[in-house]
A = this chain, B = another copy of it.
Amino acid sequence: MSIVNDPYAEEYGFAFLPGGGVSSARGFKASGIHAGFRKNASKPDLALVVADEPCAAAAAFTRNVFCAAPVQFSKAQLTASSGSASYGCMRAVAINSGNANAATGDSGLEVCAAEAGVVAQAVGCPTSEVLVASTGVIGVQLPLKPFEEGLPQAVSALSHDGGADAALAIMTTDTRPKECAVSFDGAPFGYQGSTFTVGGMAKGSGMIMPNVATMIAVLTTDAPVKEADLYAALRGAVDASFNKVTVDSDTSTNDTCMLLASGAAAPGAEPFEPGTQAYIVFERALSQVCVALARAMAADGEGATKLVDVTVSGAATPGDADAAARTVANSPLVKTAIAGHDANWGRIAAALGRSGASFAQERVDIDIMGMPVCRDGLALAFDEDEALRRFEASEIAIDVDLHAGDHSTTVWTCDMTHDYISINADYRT
């Protein structure tokens, strides 16, 4: 898991935990097993994350009109718990891969309710404390039987080391599992003797458009945070991470990011209050985990060979920075040029020009991999051999300065290769 540079990481002692993931935080167990949603018995397809006790939970969901049954059901569960669809008190999260339970109507919702009942019975908690998520093909009814047959095994397999298995079980077209965790010492903020951990797992291909039920992330922490405050931290972290992967990653039918907080690292302690140093450091740790997972999603884009960082600075507004960076990051012409090791900044300029951002073309500067290729909107001679050498890297930086203001952002994407076509032309068959 690549570690993102964060000026606060060193100051506050953030450190990525070797092998860290969704069960690294105290008070959580996880497992991943093959339950039968997929035909291939060697592919795990059911992940379970369970808290030792009912705990604060927050979630951010897709805004797609075609939102899947598990999204609707989990929102309803949270609403029943707290009055808000964004947070509540929960104990368990079950995620299956292989079937998204999307565009399945009332039957799909009935399956969710039955699934939650099966989870609750296996875990030994009320049905009202179960969240569910699904990823896979849409428009096909989700069978209940694999839950009924698999959940006893999934519960037996639950362990503090089970995060890695869970991360494998939620993969679809992902080529590698995505998980990480960071820790920080509570002593500087008045929590002597406590080390707090934030960990998580994610799946998603981070491709230019939403895949069938693209993105699911489950995060846990043993920090003490109240439900609504937990959601505020999650919302900020998601906007700065998963929502920066691509323009539509937040709007596929099943996109879901859940965060559970057990408080188990400081039993009986006061919750982190917004505005306090402890809460701010927690927010940063959470953001670091989310950014690392988001970048891993982009790097594992379908058919991708490279992670691409598109940074736009000098924008007139935050919205302009975002629109400009996303339009470049979503351009198939830019992404295919990178796959072809072609420093074709003209395609970047064309994308900027139609992004809707305000700027003057005669002021735009563009660098590719640190090489100035465009200054004041004009071509700059550059060493093509050196460019080809730099294109060998696994991470490609595109830096744009619009010289129209003070706002900047970074969006993560990947190159676009023949394998993207192969994966997506053959996915369902």
Contacts and interface: CB of A to CB of B under 8 A. Distances in A.
29 contacts: A63-B354, A64-B354, A65-B353, A66-B352, A67-B353, A67-B361, A103-B379, A105-B362, A138-B350, A139-B378, A209-B331, A210-B350, A212-B333, A212-B346, A251-B353, A251-B354, A253-B353, A336-B425, A337-B425, A337-B427, A339-B421, A340-B425, A340-B426, A340-B427, A342-B425, A342-B427, A417-B421, A420-B421, A421-B421
B424 A353 contact: no
A339 B354 CA distance: 27
Q: Report the copy number of this chain in the oligomer.
A: 2
B421 A139 contact: no
Contacts of A212: 333, 344, 346-347, 350
Nearest to A346: B138
Interface residues of A, number: 66
Given A64-B353, A102-B349, A103-B377, 17 more contacts: A64-B350, A65-B353, A65-B354, A65-B360, A67-B353, A103-B349, A139-B349, A141-B379, A209-B331, A212-B346, A253-B350, A337-B425, A337-B428, A339-B421, A340-B426, A342-B426, A416-B421
A153 interface: no
Nearest to A402: B65
Interface of A: 63-67, 100, 102-105, 137-141, 207-212, 248, 251-253, 331-333, 336-337, 339-340, 342, 344-347, 349-354, 357, 359-362, 364, 374, 376-379, 416-418, 420-422, 424-429
A332 B424 CA distance: 9
A382 to B, nearest CB: 11
B421 A349 contact: no
Contacts of A417: 421, 425
B211 A361 contact: no
Contact of A208 (B100, B248, B332, B426): B332
Contacts of A420: 332, 336, 421
Contact of A333 (B209, B333, B378): B209
Given A354-B251, A377-B103, A424-B336, A359 B65 contact: yes
A253 B354 CA distance: 9
Nearest to A378: B105
A33 to B, nearest CB: 26
A103 B374 contact: yes
Given A66-B349, A103-B379, A333-B212, A421 B418 contact: yes
Nearest to A357: B65
A342 B209 contact: no
A332 B332 contact: yes
